[in-house]
Amino acid sequence: MSQLVSWQSRSGLESTVLVHHKPHTPDTQDTLPIRRVRAFGELLFVPISPQWPVAFARTLREVRPDLLHIHMPNPWAFCALFSAAARSLPWVVHWHADVPHDHPSWRMRLAYRPYAQFEQQLLRRAATIVVSSQTYLDASATLSAHRDRCAVIPLGLEAERPESAPPDWPNHDQLKLLAVGRLSYYKGFETLLDAVARTADVQLLLIGEGERRTALAARIAALGLHERVRMTGHLDDPQIEAAYRACDVFCLPSLDRAEAFGLVLLEAMRAGKPVVASAVPGSGMTEVVQDQQTGLLVSPGDPDSLAEALALLRERPDLRAQLGQAGRGRFEANYRFDPVGQSISDVYGQLLASSGRV
């Protein structure tokens, strides 16, 4: 979202962003028009933010926007359904991912029932729904009744970003494997650890925080991988960029469509690195990664398939270079942020023109 707001600011488009902010989290985008609403932790992945409805109403009153751009999933976005000021505006709903109705947690499955009712109301009210890939749209049951109002616009990245000193890899003679993401159930990092255990001369740097950290640390110990796997926790953007530049291979082993697109794949491709990702049916990952051309796609949840891909790339530096170069070319051709930002701006223009606001 920060890239979109930065692009809009450079393009002369005035925008105001309302986001949640957890205590003790550093503000990293102070130059952008961002209003932060305090959140006191999370419940079922939802920020606990009792001040949000008041902040939302105040922002609408003070800013008087011409258009509302809602990013989903976010239950707090349902406040717009109950606001006369919000309902008077055209809405763009940015659909980042479906909320899985078959979530492993029974609490999440139970909570989804009422959530789905408001979710559909929000989608019916949207003038345009932005989806990151045609593959994801085609597989989404939630969006099936609204496809005539969907616009496919991929995620994108700026061409470059600052980097700091590279991370300390334990053994420079081994294949340097990188994984980045929230340590969550659907990311498949357990599968990745199992694959690393099956593959000699591979070391893994795992960047991220999340609810699975303790379980992953226990698995590393059980597999005897403490000398080949390092979990860094949270790193800032320049440190992460340096890790991309220093690695040999990037891996995203996600298990299901909760991984709707895989923005980290673009980050690796921007750095010219070969990627290994899961061939999850209905996920945009299979559009981002062209199998055998810009990376390798493997069966989700299959450590043997993943280990085979890692072993191949370990033995074939020429293939790593070929895939990485092709991935960088694909990033340049399809995922630079300028055309992405312009496509979203065009959606705004069409809606404002049709609503008589320009």
Q: Given pLDDT bands bounded at 50, 70 and 90, which one contains residue 23?
A: low
The Cβ of residue 149 has, within 10 Å, a number of other Cβ atoms equal to 14
pLDDT value of position 340: 94
The Cβ of residue 248 has, within 10 Å, a number of other Cβ atoms equal to 19
pLDDT value of position 12: 85
Chain segment 168-179, per-residue pLDDT in tens: 776 778 999 999
Considering the segment(s) 2-156+336-354 as one domain, its CATH architecture is 3-Layer(aba) Sandwich (3.40)
Q: Given pLDDT bands bounded at 50, 70 and 90, which one contains residue 164?
A: confident
Q: Given pLDDT bands bounded at 50, 70 and 90, which one contains residue 3?
A: confident
d(CA 112, CA 95): 17
Between CA 26 and CA 262, with CA 335 as vertex, the angle to 5 degrees is 60
Say whether pLDDT at 29 is over 60: no
d(CA 144, CA 107): 25
Of 41-50, 88-97, 267-276, 289-298, which range is least confident?
41-50
Q: Given pLDDT bands bounded at 50, 70 and 90, which one contains residue 100?
A: confident
pLDDT value of position 147: 97
> Which residues of the chain are in CATH 3.40.50.2000 domains?
2-156+336-354, 175-334
Cβ neighbours of residue 226 under 8 Å, at least 6 residues apart? 220
pLDDT value of position 115: 85
Say whether pLDDT at 62 is over 60: yes
Please name the residue that has the structure tokens 């450590």: 303
Q: Given pLDDT bands bounded at 50, 70 and 90, which one contains residue 8?
A: confident
| CA distances in angstroms from 151 to 92, 102, 137, 277, listed in the order given | 10, 26, 9, 25
Q: Given pLDDT bands bounded at 50, 70 and 90, which one contains residue 224?
A: very high
Please name the residue that has the structure tokens 């420079």: 172
CATH says 175-334 is which class? alpha beta
Say whether pLDDT at 356 is over 80: no
Chain segment 190-219, per-residue pLDDT in tens: 999 999 999 999 999 999 999 999 999 999
Say whether pLDDT at 256 is over 70: yes
Chain segment 267-321, per-residue pLDDT in tens: 999 999 999 999 999 999 999 999 999 999 999 999 999 999 999 999 999 999 9
Average pLDDT along the chain: 91
Of 34-43, 129-138, 228-237, which range is least confident?
34-43
| CA distances in angstroms from 217 to 176, 182, 307, 338, listed in the order given | 19, 14, 20, 40
Q: Against a cut of 0.95, is the pTM above it?
A: no
Between CA 251 and CA 259, with CA 253 as vertex, the angle to 5 degrees is 110
Say whether pLDDT at 121 is over 80: yes
Q: Given pLDDT bands bounded at 50, 70 and 90, which one contains residue 234?
A: very high
Instruction: Yes or no: say if 128 and 347 are a contact pair by the CB < 8 Å rule.
Output: yes
Percentage of the chain with pLDDT > 90? Answer: 76
